[in-house]
Structure 1
Amino acid sequence: MDIIFIFAMSCIFTSASGSWWLGGGSTTPLKRDCIWMQYGPYGPCKDIKGTFMKKRERGQVKALGNGAPCVGPDHEYASCTPAEITGSTFMATVGAALTTGGGGSSSSRRTLNNKFQPPKAAKKCINKDVTDANGNILMSGKKCSQSARKRREASAYTEFAASRTKRQAPPVFSTKNRDVLFLLDESGSVGSNNFKTRVVRLAKAVAGSFCGAISIGQTTTRVGVMNFDRSQYAEIDFDKYFSKAHLLAGMDSDIDYHKPTSGATCLIDALNFARTDMFQAARGARIGVAGTERIAILVTDGCANCKTTTQLKSHLETIGQQFTAQGIPIITFLVTGNPGYCFDIMKGLSDGSQCYQQFHAATWTDFDNIIQSIENSPCMDAWYIGPSC
C-alpha cells in the first residue's frame, strides 16, 4: 500500500519593506497601527527657570505596513513641589559615583610615613544655594573649580529642560561598590518619636532605593548605621546584613534610641567616631579593597551644642578635610526652622566634590514629604558618573 501525505503550508517571510503573509498564491502586507506604551514613572524634580517640573516618558510599538503613526508627544511634564526637588537632588547626590578611586582619592597626598594629608585649600569655590519661592533654603553646597580640586559628578540622572534642543549624553555607569554609613542624630531635641518614625525612616528609604547592580550585598553595597547624642553608638556594622530585606528589618530592630544620653548634639565626637571607628575593617568596611567607595550620610536637627561650640566652624573644616583626604564625601540633611547659622557652620564639611552637600527641611512635616518623595521614586540600579549639575 502506498500512502501519500499532502501538506498545506503557509509561511511568513520578512523583506526590507516589512513583514508579509504568504498563502494561497497571493501576498498581503501585515498592517499595524502604532501603539503607545504606558508612561513610565516621573523622573526627578528639577528647577527649570524658576519652575519646579518633573518629566516622564513613554515608548511606542511602531507601525507596520501602511499602519497609522503614533500621534502626540513621547514625554510630558508636571509640576512638582520643593519637597520633591529636595528629595530627588538629595538622592542624585547620594547616587553619584566618585571619579577617583575608593579608599582614598588619587588627589590625596601621602607623607613618607604613609599618612594622608588634607588637600590644599580650594581656590575658586562658589557657594551654591537653592531656595523656594519664599526664599527658604532647600539645599546648599560649595562648588569648586576643576583646578582647585578634582570633582565628582553630582547628578545620578540626565538633566532635562523644556527649552533644550540638543540631547544631553546619558550618564555613565560606575562599576564600583560602596560602603554607606548613616550618622543619625538622636539628641533630646529630636526625641524618640521623631527619631524612630522619621530619622530612621529616611535611612530606610535611602537604603531601600538600592537595587540591581548596587543592591545590598556582601560584594556590592554594604550599609552601616551609628547614632549619636552625647555618646556614640555603633548600631549596625557593615558586614551584618547582606540583603535588603534583612537590612531593613534590622534597621527596625537594631537601631535604638538611647534616652539616658540624649541631651546634646555632640557632632564633633560623632564625626570622629564615624571616621576612626565605623569606617574600619573590624566593622566590615572594605578598607583598601580596590573598587570600593565610601560615603557618609548625616541626618541631624542642629550643628552642635556641646564642647567646642565657639570654634565649631574651624573644627568642622578640619574634620571635613580629613574625610576628603580619605575619599569620603559627607552628605548632610538638616531639619531646622532656622538654617542660616547652621548652614554656614556646616559648610565646613563641604569639600566641593558635589554640587550640593547640604539639604534642608524647615519642619518635621516637610521632612515627611521629602521622605515620601524618596520612597515613591524609582530605585537606583547603578552608581552614576553623570553630567555636571
Structure 2
Amino acid sequence: MNRLPVWITIAVLLLTDLSVASVFYWPSAEDANKTRDCKWGPWQGTTCEKTGKRVFQIFQTRIKFEAKNGGNDCRGRTFRVKPCTMTDFIAESLYRTVNTGTEAGTTDSGKGGFMWSSWSSTDSNQLHKYNPCAERFYDENGGLRIAGKCETVERTRKREDGSTETVEEPAPVITRRRKRNILSTNKRDLLFLIDASGSIGEENLEKEIKLAKTMASKLCDKISIGKNKTRVAVMTFTHKQKPHLNFDDYFEKPEVIKSMDKIKYKGGGTCIIKALDFTRKEMITTVRGARNYEPGTERVVVFITDGCDECEGNSNLLGDLKDMQKHFEDQEIAFISYFVGKADSCTKEILALADGSRCHQYHRADNWAEVDEMTKYIAKQPCMDSWKIGVPCTL
C-alpha cells in the first residue's frame, strides 16, 4: 500500500484539528443568536462554621448564567445557608489542622491564640514565637472537644476590698530558635499512629483506618503522595508496636490506601509511652524513609486513640507524656491527637502531647458513631492542594 508524503499527512492533520477546534471554540453566528434560557451553576461551599454559641452553618454560593436572546429567566438566590452539626464542626477543625503547617506569618486571632510567627525567610536558624493558649471549644455538657497547647502561670492579684487571690493566666509569649529551615508548602512526612488495643476492637479499628485513608485520599496536586511531595507511613500499637507502612514503601496514593486495608486486628494492652518512644526512635527515621535531614520537610504524627496508657510501671503518666512531648518538640516533630471517648482524665494526658505548633492539636469524638460522621464529613471536603502556612487561630 502506497503511503502519502509526510507533508500531505501533516497538512491533513492540521486542517482536521482546525475544523474540530472551530466547532468547540469558535461558535458560529447562528449559535450566537440562539435563544438560551437562564441556568444556575452548582452550589459551592462545604465548610461548617460556628456562627453562634451552639449554631453551626455552611455558607454556599452559586453562579447565575443569564438568559440570552429572549430566553427564560430563572428565579432564586445566589446565596444560601445550610445547617450543619457540632460533629461536622469538629471534623472541619481536625481537617484544617492536618492541612496546616508550622510556619510563618502571624496567626493572632484576637482571641488569645498564636501559632508560630515572626519568621525570617533568609535565616536558616530563625526564631519563632507562640502564645501558649488558643481558643478552646466545649460541647453543651462542658466536655472539651477542641484544644491546643495551653501553658499557664499562677499570679496573685488584689481584689477591690484589698484582699488577694491567686489566679491562673496564660504564660507569656515564648521565643525559641528553630533548627530546621523554612518549611516547604508541598513536602511533609505524615505518620498515622493508630491504637489497635483490646479496648478498640476489630470493628472500631476499621473505623480508625477508614479515617486515616480518607485523610490520605485528600492529599492532592502539589501535596499529593509522592517521593518529593508527601510521604505517608502507618503504625499501629498495643503493648507492642507494629509498623505497617514505611515512608518510602509507596509513592502512589492508591498503593498507600490499599496497604492500609491489610492491617489486621490482634488486640492487647494500650501502651502509649512505649509506642511514642518507638515512634521517635525507630519509626520517624531515615531507615524507614523519613526525610529527617532534608530542608523544609515537616514531620507530623496524627495520633488516634481511645484511652490512656494501661501499661504497668507508668505511675506518672502525665509527667511521662510531657517528657515525651519535649523529646518530640526537640526533634521538631508535630503532634495532632484525635481522642475517642468521654472527657475524663485522659483528656489532660492526651492534650499534654500538644507542642504549640498548631492552634488546635487535640480533637475529641464522644463515641464511634461520631467518628463515622466525621469521616463522612471529611470525605465531602475538597482536596488539600498545599500545606497552609500561618493559618489564623479561629474557631
Identify whether the pair has TM-score above 0.5, normalized to the shorter chain: yes
SS of the aligned residue for 2:261 comes to helix
Name the stretch that deviates more: 61-70 or 204-213. Answer: 61-70
Distance (whole Å) between structure 2 residues aligned to residue 147 and residue 127 of structure 1: 12
8 Å contact 1:151–1:353 — kept in the other structure?
no
Which one of the candidate residues 212, 216, 231 is aligned to 1:222? 231
CA deviation vs aligned residue, 1:73-128 (integer Å, no higher than 9, x gap): 5332211112211111101000002206xxxx999xxxxxxxxxxx99x9953364
**1:213 and 2:222 correspond:** yes
Q: Which residue of 1 aligns with 2:47?
A: 44
Which one of the candidate residues 380, 383, 391 is aligned to 1:379? 383
Q: Which residue of 1 aligns with 2:245?
A: 236
Write the letter of the residue equivalent to 1:182: F
Compute the displacement of 1:371 (Å).
1.5
Distance (whole Å) between structure 1 residues aligned to residue 117 and residue 62 of structure 2: 41
For structure 1, the residue ranges without an aligned partner over 5 or more in a row are: 1-20, 108-118, 153-172
Compute the displacement of 1:271 (Å).
0.7
CA deviation vs aligned residue, 1:189-212 (integer Å, no higher than 9, x gap): 1122221x2111111111111111
Q: Which residue of 1 aligns with 2:188?
A: 178
Distance (whole Å) between structure 2 residues aligned to residue 83 and residue 124 of structure 1: 27
Compute the displacement of 1:240 (Å).
0.8
Q: CA RMSD in A?
A: 3.4
SS of the aligned residue for 1:310 comes to coil
SS of the aligned residue for 1:309 comes to coil
SS of the aligned residue for 1:125 comes to coil
Write the letter of the residue equivalent to 1:148: I
SS of the aligned residue for 1:138 comes to strand
8 Å contact 2:233–2:246 — kept in the other structure?
yes
Write the letter of the residue equivalent to 2:256: L
8 Å contact 2:224–2:253 — kept in the other structure?
yes
After TM superposition, list the pairs within 5 Å mapping 1:190-209 onto structure 2.
190-195=200-205, 197-209=206-218
State TM-score, norm by structure 2. Answer: 0.72
Q: 1:62 to 1:323 in 2, by over 3 A?
A: farther
Compute the displacement of 1:30 (Å).
10
SS of the aligned residue for 1:83 comes to helix
Equivalenced residues, count: 323
Which one of the candidate residues 312, 315, 326 is aligned to 2:317? 312
Identity %: 34
Q: 1:264 to 1:149 in 2, by over 3 A?
A: farther
8 Å contact 1:53–1:78 — kept in the other structure?
yes
Write the letter of the residue equivalent to 2:272: L
CA deviation vs aligned residue, 1:154-206 (integer Å, no higher than 9, x gap): xxxxxxxxxxxxxxxxxxx96231110011111111122221x2111111111
8 Å contact 2:334–2:357 — kept in the other structure?
yes
Compute the displacement of 1:279 (Å).
0.8
For structure 2, the residue ranges without an aligned partner over 5 or more in a row are: 1-27, 105-115, 119-126, 152-170
Write the letter of the residue equivalent to 1:178: R
Q: Which has the higher contact order (CA 8 A, sep 6+)?
A: 1
SS of the aligned residue for 1:126 comes to coil
Q: 1:357 to 1:308 in 2, by over 3 A?
A: farther
Compute the displacement of 1:68 (Å).
10
Compute the displacement of 1:62 (Å).
6.4
Compute the displacement of 1:133 (Å).
2.9
Distance (whole Å) between structure 1 residues aligned to residue 117 and residue 186 of structure 2: 15
8 Å contact 2:130–2:356 — kept in the other structure?
no
After TM superposition, list the pairs within 5 Å mapping 1:62-73 onto structure 2.
73=77
CA deviation vs aligned residue, 1:262-314 (integer Å, no higher than 9, x gap): 32111011111111111111101112112211110001111211134321111
CA deviation vs aligned residue, 1:218-258 (integer Å, no higher than 9, x gap): 111110011111111111001111111111111112x232x
8 Å contact 1:268–1:316 — kept in the other structure?
yes
Which one of the candidate residues 141, 147, 151 is aligned to 2:148? 141
Q: 1:33 to 1:245 in 2, by over 3 A?
A: same
